[in-house]
Structure 1
Amino acid sequence: MDLSRAELVGEGMEGTVYRLGRGLIGKVWRERGVDELRPLVDFYRELAAQGLPFATPLIVEVAERDGRACTVERELPGTPLSDAGLAPAAAHDAVVAVVTALAATTAGPATRALPVLNERIADRPVLPELVRRRGAAFRPVLAASVPGFDALLARLLAVLDAGPGGEPAAPAAGERIVHGDICPPNILVDTAGRPTALLDWGLLTTAGDNAFDAATAAAFFDMYGPEAAAHHEALAGRLAETLGYDRRWLLAQLAGYAVAGACVYDPAGRDGHFAWCVEVLGQADVRAALAD
């Protein structure tokens, strides 16, 4: 992959992205090696076979350059929803369309083989085990910031283990492909606001319950703005109605994310994302959803 004349697109969390032309982009990965990218290559192929109504990444070449892993991928069309200037209702429509499309997927072996937050989890479903592990690993910082954290964690795990409506979780054959980070910058849209692509798979991507994407997408739409609560309420309500999800189950999924993801960017909990997760765990509706 010759990057000497490639156009620099920008720096992401995982590496540097270049536009190569002919509908292709190049990525120089910051930390992942070639061998670590093989599961992602297989996953993208499995994802592409789902027949989604929008484009998804596809790696067409993996190589090593100057000791770093490089990939050639297809360039995805559209403008980030965060930059599209749509009215709130139209932007909500795009989020609902993406989550609804993923609800019709079927997770296969390549999806189940992906690490989740760098954890290898064979247990089904994934979320309770991820919450159990990370709740224990980051207990000191979480317990110092979340009142009654130990009791809250125990109740959350009981709810997640019981499944929606207190019913056992669906077998692995019924698992969907969960993106894990559906937010406006990761959704590309056309000029009419229709989703054209979904970016940034991998950090929380797994085989699981589409309700996790519904819950987190509603919360991630606006995390820090003055209208954040209103957007969350409107989107969660629409997704619950459209997909038939119980609102209490969506709140439990969101709480699961807040525990598992609180320290993903700073293990010491000194960043804004940690503060946001702590706020989620303190919300009255979340506490009520986890109450006996």
Structure 2
Amino acid sequence: MELIGQGMEGAVYDLGDGTVRKVWFDRRPEDVRPLQEFLDELPELPFRTPRIRSISAGENGLAVSVEDKLTGVPLHEAGLPEEQALDAFVAVVEALRTVRPGVASKALPMVGQPFWTESWGQSLASLVRQRAATSKVHFERDVPAFAELLDNVVSQLTALPTADLSVVHGDVCPPNLLMDGHQVAAVLDWGFTSAAGDNTFEASLAAGFFDMYGPDARRLDDLLLDRFVQLGHDRERMHLYRQAYAIITATIYDENAGDGHYTWCVNQLTR
């Protein structure tokens, strides 16, 4: 078996028969089955999505899954002109806008924590409160009037009107889009922030993820936000969702708030 990739959740090996073997780092089989059910619910889309064919337990009791191999060139390596790369992002978000969520999409955890409660807005507000507690000491140091900002974000999320729900991927970023020429061939890495939710949440995050750290990051973010506004997404709600995501994930990769992702999140809360 050839190791072809490794991320936060596991290592992926090519089995040479059109499938891959994923060895999960910290999930047991029962933790992966909700993701399998969610992926099985996804309808046919203009691009391929993962399918988990089997789940077993390794010697340490952690999950080992066999999945379809998805092929293509990651967007950030595809060498596309800027406009075509932006088009790819918009196409994925708009395709997901049409997908009505099934039962499994409300059973998924978000960032490893139980998520769905009475409504999308209330579920997100509850998670923001929980995750804010883990980063409070850092935010109070780096974000002016953080307590007031947190109360405002939670209040606005709780008051969101009932929205038409779509399937949210939650991490539409260049490494997760595999390209075949200028077409999106596949979208990878579902589950970490996937749920039944508001497609405007997807649009907000995708705009910020296109280029998080480069010198043109703000310009490209603004370009995509403008395009999503033209497609009917509310700018203020996108800003609210960006703040919510920043609070939820600020210390998800480094509990000591010493990484670039934390800095990016602080910038979203102070922009």
Structures share fold, TM-score greater than 0.5: yes
- Mapped to 2, the partners of 1:129 and 1:106 lie a distance apart of 23
Quick check: 1:105 aligned with 2:99?
Answer: yes
Mapping of residues 1-292 of structure 1, within 5 Å: 6-47=1-42, 50-67=43-60, 68-123=62-117, 124-125=119-120, 126-163=123-160, 168-170=161-163, 174-191=164-181, 193-242=182-231, 244-283=232-271
Cα root mean square deviation, aligned: 1.2
Question: Match of 2:15, SS?
Answer: strand
Query: TM-score, normalised to structure 1's length?
Result: 0.88
Question: Match of 1:213, SS?
Answer: helix
1:59–1:71 contact (8 Å) kept in structure 2: yes
Partner amino acid, structure 2, of 1:259? I
Partner amino acid, structure 2, of 1:210? N
Deviations 1:62-117 (A, max 9, x none): 12232232111001121110110111100000000000000001111111100001
2:115–2:124 contact (8 Å) kept in structure 1: no
Partner amino acid, structure 2, of 1:155? N
Question: Match of 2:131, SS?
Answer: helix
1:102–1:176 contact (8 Å) kept in structure 2: yes
Q: CA deviation at 1:162?
A: 2.4
- Mapped to 2, the partners of 1:177 and 1:221 lie a distance apart of 20
Query: TM-score, normalised to structure 2's length?
Result: 0.95
1:180–1:216 contact (8 Å) kept in structure 2: yes
- Mapped to 1, the partners of 2:255 and 2:248 lie a distance apart of 11
Deviations 1:121-150 (A, max 9, x none): 232213222112212332222111111101
Question: Match of 1:234, SS?
Answer: helix
Question: Match of 1:207, SS?
Answer: strand
2:169–2:190 contact (8 Å) kept in structure 1: yes
Query: In 2 relative to 1, CA 203–150 (structure 1 residues): closer, same or farther, beyond 3 Å?
Result: same
**Structure 1 unaligned regions, length at least 5:** 1-5, 284-292
**Share of identical aligned residues, percent?**
43
1:162–1:169 contact (8 Å) kept in structure 2: no
